[in-house]
Amino acid sequence: MSQEFIFILVSFLFGFVSAWIIRSVSYFKLKKNQKSTEGLLESEKLIKETLRKESALAFKMKESVEAELGRKLEQSNALIKVMDEDIILLQKSNEETEELLKITQPEIHALKLKLIEANNTISRLKSQLTEKNS
C-alpha cells in the first residue's frame, strides 16, 4: 500500500504542478493581453483628445477668419457708401458747372462738347485698330 500511496501522491503532485503551470501560463498571457489592450485604449484616448483639440482650434480659427472678413466687409460697404455719396456730389457739382459754363460762356461749352466727342471717336478708332491687329 505504501507504493500505491506514493504513486497516488506523486500523481496528485504531478497533476497539481501541471495544472498550476497551465494556469500560470494562461494567467500571464491574459495579463499581457490586458496590458496590450489598455495601451491601445490609452493610445486611442490620446488620439481622440488630440483630434478634439485640433478641431476646437480649427473652429476658433474659422470663427476668427469669419469675424475678420465680416469686419472688412462692413468697412468696404461703408467705403462704398461714402464713395457713392461723393460721386453724387461730384455729379451735381459738374452739372452746376456745366450749366454755369453754358450760360456764361456758350462758345467754350460747345468746344468742350466737341472735345469730348473727338476723344470718344479717337477711343473707338483705337479699339478698332487693336481688334484688327489682334
Give the tens place of pLDDT for each residue, 110-127.
888 888 889 889 999 988
Which residues contact residue 105 at a Cβ distance below 8 angstroms, ignoring those fewer than 6 apart?
none
Phi-psi region of 105 (alpha: psi -120 to 50; beta: other; left: phi over 0): beta
Say how far apart CA 33 and CA 27 lie, in whole Å. 10
The pLDDT mean for the chain works out to: 90
| Residue 64 belongs to domain spanning | 2-133
Domain tally, the chain: 1
Sign of the dihedral defined by the CA atoms of residues 123, 129, 133, 134, in that order = positive
H-helix or E-strand spanning residue 105 = none
Average pLDDT rounded to a whole number, residues 22-40: 94
Q: Which pLDDT score is estimated for 77?
A: 95
The number of residues in the chain equals 134
pLDDT category, 25, cuts 50, 70, 90? very high
Say how far apart CA 118 and CA 112 lie, in whole Å. 10
Q: Which pLDDT score is estimated for 1?
A: 65
- For the cut 90, the answer to whether the pLDDT of residue 73 exceeds it is yes
Q: Count of CB atoms within 10 A of residue 113's CB?
A: 12
Q: Which pLDDT score is estimated for 113?
A: 80
Q: 87 or 93, which is more confident? A: 87
Radius of gyration of the CA atoms of the chain, in A? 48
What are the grid coordinates assigned to 83, written together? 464713395
Q: Which pLDDT score is estimated for 69?
A: 96
- For the cut 90, the answer to whether the pLDDT of residue 55 exceeds it is yes
